[in-house]
């Protein structure tokens, strides 16, 4: 390969490297991390949640327009459930139970920290209710709000210290 061909190939590769990410951005309208799914996928404290959402085939849905508020249990919250419980939850025969548990953490609205103050009840995508209490600390279904989220184009992700238990289906 002569020098001119090598230079042309390198230039073409460089242009592609610049154009492809811009093209992906243009198709979705938001940068990959500017969605609820992107925030969850890119945050190391939420690796377990991201894996479970992917296993339940829910992660891609959180890239959609929304709006969504996700009360996101950190990795330690899932570890506190115990390995046996997590293993049972991710078993194929418990797929519906896993989906219900995860959807119990998602509200079809944007709830910024100010909207959580004063206490209230919110309905989740699982059709269940989460009680939010504001006493000394802000509790989401009994789980402490660890890190309030920042609003992004399709919602907000708030980190919480416990996994919320979804009520049994009637």
Yes or no: say if 33 and 46 are a contact pair by the CB < 8 Å rule: no
Domain map of the chain by residue range? 1-30, 32-160
Supply the pLDDT for residue 22.
Answer: 35
- 159: phi then psi, degrees, rounded to nearest 5: -85, 135
Whether 72 has a pLDDT exceeding 60, the answer reads yes
Supply the pLDDT for residue 166.
Answer: 84
Note the CATH number of domain 32-160.
2.30.180.10
Q: How far is CA 60 from the centre of its chain?
A: 10
Q: pLDDT of 110-152, one tens digit each? A: 999 989 988 899 999 999 999 999 988 999 999 999 999 999 9
Rounded mean pLDDT of 68-83? 97
39 or 136: which carries more pLDDT confidence? 39
Supply the pLDDT for residue 83.
Answer: 93
Mean pLDDT (the chain) is 84
The model carries a pTM of: 0.80
Supply the pLDDT for residue 128.
Answer: 97
What percent of the chain clears pLDDT 70, i.e. is strictly above it? 79
Supply the pLDDT for residue 1.
Answer: 52
Supply the pLDDT for residue 168.
Answer: 75
Whether 25 has a pLDDT exceeding 70, the answer reads no
Using the CB atoms, write b or e for 6-29: b if 16+ within 10 Å: eeeeeeeeeeeeeeeeeeeeeeee
Strand order in the sheet with 155-160: 106-107, 68-73, 155-160, 143-147, 138-140, 129-134, 120-123
């Amino acid at each position: 390969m002569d020098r001119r061909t090598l230079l042309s190939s390198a230039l073409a590769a460089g242009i592609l490297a610049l154009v492809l990410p811009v093209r992906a951005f243009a198709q979705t309208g938001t940068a990959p991390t500017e969605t609820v799914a992107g925030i969850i996928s890119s945050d190391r404290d939420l690796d377990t949640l991201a894996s479970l959402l992917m296993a339940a085939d829910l992660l891609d849905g959180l890239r959609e327009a929304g709006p969504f508020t996700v009360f996101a249990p950190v990795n330690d919250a899932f570890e506190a459930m115990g390995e046996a419980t997590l293993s049972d939850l991710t078993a194929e025969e418990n797929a519906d139970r896993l989906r219900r548990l995860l959807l119990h953490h998602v509200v079809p609205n944007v709830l910024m920290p100010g909207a959580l103050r004063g206490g209230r009840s919110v309905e989740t995508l699982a059709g269940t209710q989460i009680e939010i209490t504001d006493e000394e600390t802000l509790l989401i279904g009994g789980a402490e709000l660890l890190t309030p989220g920042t609003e992004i184009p399709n919602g907000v992700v708030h980190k919480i210290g416990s996994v919320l238990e979804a009520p049994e289906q009637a």
